[in-house]
Amino acid sequence: MAEDTKTQQSENQDSSNSDLSSPEYRKYSSIVTEGVERAPSRGMLYAVGFEKHDFQKPQIGIASTWGMVTPCNMHIDKLSEFATQGVNEAGAKAVPFNTITVSDGISMGTEGMKYSLVSREVIADSIETVVGCMGYDGVVTLGGCDKNMPGCLIALARLNRPAVFVYGGTIMPGLSGDKELDIVSIFEAVGAHANQKIDDTELDTIESKAIPGPGSCGGMYTANTMASAIEALGMSLPNSSAQSAISKAKELDCRNAGAAVVNLIQKGIRPSDIMTRKAFENAITVVITLGGSTNAVLHLLAIAHSIGVPLAIDDFTEIGKRVPVLADVKPSGKFLMNDLIKIGGLMPLMRTLLDAGMLHGDCLTVTGQTVAENLKDVKPYPVGQQVIRPLDNPIKKESHLVILYGNLASQGAVAKISGKEGEHFSGTAKVYNSEEEALQRILDGTVVKGDVIVIRYEGPKGAPGMREMLAPTSAVMGKGLGKEVALITDGRFSGGSHGFVIGHVTPEAYEGGVIAIVEDGDPIVIDGQTRQLTLNIPESEIQKRLDAWQKPDPRYTRGVLAKYAKSVSSASQGAVTD
């Protein structure tokens, strides 16, 4: 079982007796600490716990995303202590530091959610800043919530120094009687309450019991999706993605990560050696088989951009044509990440994919070994388990992540089509210029069967910040309209969203995309098989409306959101800022 898996350092890491004081292992720290002229630097480091012999060791930055602002990260300060121990025990010198995190789940549906995707860039910038300034020779990053995980990887890619990512781990399920709950249970309960399916007492019970303690949201939402993608990418230790936040396995994972980064320094292995084109193909394959979040498209594009690997949204289509969905997990399925942990985690799935020729086994990983070497002794899932389907009996034969084009999305859009909601939807537009307005109209019954909800001016530049739409999509499900309406937006979706939903519509409304000129009652056709998103009105009418359209004033003119809006790229390019 994954929780009992103990990654043996002697198996996966080279415990050589190389002299760590060698200059080749202190390429960056020696610039800061060596020589008479660096005496002031050493003097300050004595004050933070250095001893004389520590200056002859590689220095490893331990970047923690701890904060009490969210259960996803409330325990990461303790995990960073285990990573620190692992570094120090391996003969290097660990230097812990902290960066920010924000909570998607708490800010969802509010103006504050505009800072969520922005936080990915702030985190990447801050880790790069500290490591670059202080001259660390290697890095361990620990992340738990949606945006700090890709933020960590973007920083590691930019720095390109030996590094390991550690996932903070998934939350245990909440319980109400014998019913398992999670964060999406609460969001959908809001819709059910509006539809008078549950009363105040039941809503209170669900909200008070769904989140029992530390860890990231429990389904195959963005955090667990990205943790799995990062493991498949080779940047975290085997089964790091499939451990509970408060487990002994996670503590050991952190200690082993500390030792692993020292091994990477000794072997001269950098992120650019690991995060290759083939490695990104592995990550995309695993995300698809797990039925993962649409946010993986945005984040993998951004990470690839940072490491200099060509990757485009159309690559998700090409890989998706030959990769099935196998995991029966929430939000579209039955099971939680905790159920995947119980049957062995991610590694048996990766072994299955490797044996079927769907993974590149020669990709290097942070163990210092290849994917194939890491998986060579992995046993299959237990007979009778129902979480992961066999390859010959998939949930969906092709990817659920569908890249759509058409006159509404000439540069692409990302749909999450599990097949349960069908592959085709035709309806008439109900148009809203903000998430809040749309949510109210869903809850009060204005949105009805046959509507295509259009939420615009929520893109990277227009919001700014590209808010997630978990509140409206959950309200749709709670109102019982999951198969009766569709929703399109230039914003994005939480990994917890499900139903007939299309996000990342580009060009976005603020940049004059066709979504900006859709009107109430316009016919819209969504076709998952032909991968088309069409505003079904004459091209002459579209051009007439575009000619009359005027770009709105920016919503923010000062501060981080204004800076972000000026620098961010299109969602189809990963919403990157460099």
The residues carrying an active-site annotation are 494
Cβ atoms 41, 33 nearer than 8 A: yes
Residues 25, 227, 66: CA angle, nearest 5 degrees? 70
The DSSP symbol for 552 reads: P
What H or E segment, with its residue span, contains residue 526? strand 523-527
- Which are the contacts of 236, defined by CB distance < 8 A and separation ≥ 6? 164, 165, 166, 167, 227, 230, 257, 366
CB contact burial 352-386 (16+ within 10 A = b; e otherwise): bbbeeebbbbebbbbbbbbbbbbbeebeebeeebe
* CA 522/CA 524 separation, integer angstroms: 6
What H or E segment, with its residue span, contains residue 80? helix 76-89
Cα separation values, 406 from 513, 517, 549, Å: 12, 15, 20
- Which are the contacts of 210, defined by CB distance < 8 A and separation ≥ 6? 174, 176, 181, 182, 183, 185, 186
* CA 367/CA 559 separation, integer angstroms: 41
Coil, helix or strand for 547? helix
Cα separation values, 254 from 95, 261, 283, 284, 506, Å: 15, 11, 22, 25, 39
Residues 466, 467, 473: CA angle, nearest 5 degrees? 130
- Which are the contacts of 437, defined by CB distance < 8 A and separation ≥ 6? none
Residue 203: count other Cβ atoms within 10 Å of its Cβ.
Answer: 15
Residues 19, 20, 26: CA angle, nearest 5 degrees? 135
* CA 156/CA 304 separation, integer angstroms: 11
- Which are the contacts of 61, defined by CB distance < 8 A and separation ≥ 6? 95, 96, 97, 127, 130, 131, 134, 136, 138, 139, 140
Coil, helix or strand for 103? coil
Nearest alpha-carbon partner for 510 in 526, 493, 491: 491
Q: Is the peptide bond prior to 380 cis by the omega test (within 30 degrees of 0)?
A: no
Nearest alpha-carbon partner for 143 in 33, 257, 288, 24: 257
List residues bridging with 170 in a β-sheet. Answer: 216, 244
Give the DSSP letter string of 270-311. Answer: -HHHHS-HHHHHHHHHHHHHTT--THHHHHHHHHHHHHT---
- In the structure encoding, which two tokens stand for residue 151, read together? 């933020």
Cβ atoms 122, 155 nearer than 8 A: no
